Amino acid sequence: MARIPVLSLIVVALSACSTTGTTSTSPEAGPQRAATAPAPVSPAESVTDAANAVDPGAVRALNDMGKYLQTLTQFEVMIELSGERVLADGQKLQHTATADLDVARPNRLRADMRSSRSQRQLIYDGTTVTLYSPQQKYYSRAAFSDNLAVLVERLRERFGVEVPSADLFLWGTSAAPLDNMQSAMSAGQDIIGGERCNHYAFRQGQIDWQIWIAAGSRPLPMKLVITNRADEARPQSVTLYKWNLKPRFGNAMFAFTPPKDATKAELIPLKSR
C-alpha cells in the first residue's frame, strides 16, 4: 500500500464566508482621510457603538437558516466557486472550481469536486469515508461512524481535508461559526439565481463575509462572498449554490468500489507528516 499524504489526493478546498470593504483604510488613502480629527469618544459611547455594530436580526437570520438546513434529510447542492490568487506584484488571478454534494442525513455524503487541474471525490457511507482521485487513481479509506457535522470537523483537524462548503453541515448546531462577531448587518435584498434573497454582511477577525439567504419559507444560502482583510490586496472568493431538495438517489450513490487499477494510499494524520 502506498504511503501518500492525503493532501496530495484532495487538494480542492471549496469553502468560504465574508463581506467586502468599501473604503481604503491605508495611510496612502490621502483624500479619503478626514480633514479634521474626530471628536473624542467616551468609553461608554465606545461600548454602545460596539454593541450596536452587531444587529441581532442579522444573527437571527443565520440561526434561522441553520435550523432550516438541519431539517433537510436529503438534498443535492451544486456549487460554483471562484477565488482570487494574489501575485507578488499585487495582480490578482481568478480561478474557478465546482462541487456537487449529495447528502442523506445523518451520515451519508458524496462530494464530487472539479477544477481545470484536478478531479476529486469524497464518499461517506456511514461507516467508511473514502477519498479518491480518478486521474491519479489513488484512494484512501478510514473507518468513521459519526454524523456529517463531526465528519467535516474531524477531516479538517486530523487530516487537513476540507469538505466543500463544510459550514452547511455546521449551521444550526453548536459548532456554527458565530464566534468573534465584530459586526453584523442587513444589506437589503438582491435576486440570486432567480430567487429574491435577503443580503447580510458580517465581520469576524480578519475575515469579512456576505451571505444571500433566500427569502420566504425556505431560507437557503444562495451566495457567499469572503474577503480576506489580512491581505492588503483583499482577495475574495465567491460561492454560488443551486439546490435540489427532492433528489432521488439510493445506497449506490454512497458506495465506493475501487477500480481494478487503483492504488490504495494510507490516510496520514497531520502530526505524522
Per-residue pLDDT tens digits for 14-50 = 333 333 333 322 222 222 222 333 334 343 333 334 4
Q: Is 204 left (phi over 0), alpha (psi -120 to 50) or beta?
A: beta
Which of the four pLDDT bands, split at 50, 70 and 90, describes residue 271? confident
Tell me the C-alpha distance between 148 and 107, whole Å.
Answer: 5
Provide mean pLDDT across the span 127-149: 94
Strand partners, 74: 104
Say what the pLDDT of residue 223 is: 98
Question: Three cell numbers at 70?
Answer: 438541519
Say what the pLDDT of residue 227 is: 97
Q: For 177-225, how does the pLDDT look when each residue is reduced to its tens digit (9 = 90+)?
A: 888 899 999 999 999 999 999 999 999 999 999 999 999 999 999 999 9
Which of the four pLDDT bands, split at 50, 70 and 90, describes residue 273? low
Say what the pLDDT of residue 108 is: 96
Domains in the chain: ranges and CATH: 6-21+52-267 (2.50.20.10)
The SS3 assignment for 32 reads helix
Instruction: Identify the CA nearest to 62 among candidates 204, 178, 215.
Output: 178
Q: Which of 15-29, 226-240, 258-272 is the least confident region?
A: 15-29
Which of the four pLDDT bands, split at 50, 70 and 90, describes residue 272? low
List, in order, residues 6 or more apart from 200 with CB less than 8 Å away.
58, 61, 62, 184, 185, 186, 187, 210, 211, 212, 213
Q: For 143-175, how does the pLDDT look when each residue is reduced to its tens digit (9 = 90+)?
A: 999 999 999 999 999 999 989 899 999 999 888
Measured from the Cβ of residue 213, the count of other Cβ atoms closer than 10 Å reads 23
pLDDT > 70: percent of the chain: 80
pLDDT at residue 52 is higher than 70: no
Say what the pLDDT of residue 17 is: 31
What letter represents residue 33's amino acid?
A: R
Q: Which residues of 63-83 are buried (b: 16+ CB within 10 A; e: fewer)?
A: eebbebbeebeebbbebebeb
Say what the pLDDT of residue 236 is: 96
Say what the pLDDT of residue 128 is: 96
Which of the four pLDDT bands, split at 50, 70 and 90, describes residue 176? confident
By residue count, the chain amounts to 273
**Arithmetic mean of pLDDT over the chain:** 83
Question: Three cell numbers at 220?
Answer: 437557503
Say what the pLDDT of residue 33 is: 26
Strand partners, 79: 99, 241
pLDDT at residue 90 is higher than 70: yes
Whether 125 contacts 111, CB under 8 Å: no
Instruction: Identify the CA nearest to 221 among candidates 247, 248, 243.
Output: 243
Strand partners, 11: none
Say what the pLDDT of residue 182 is: 94
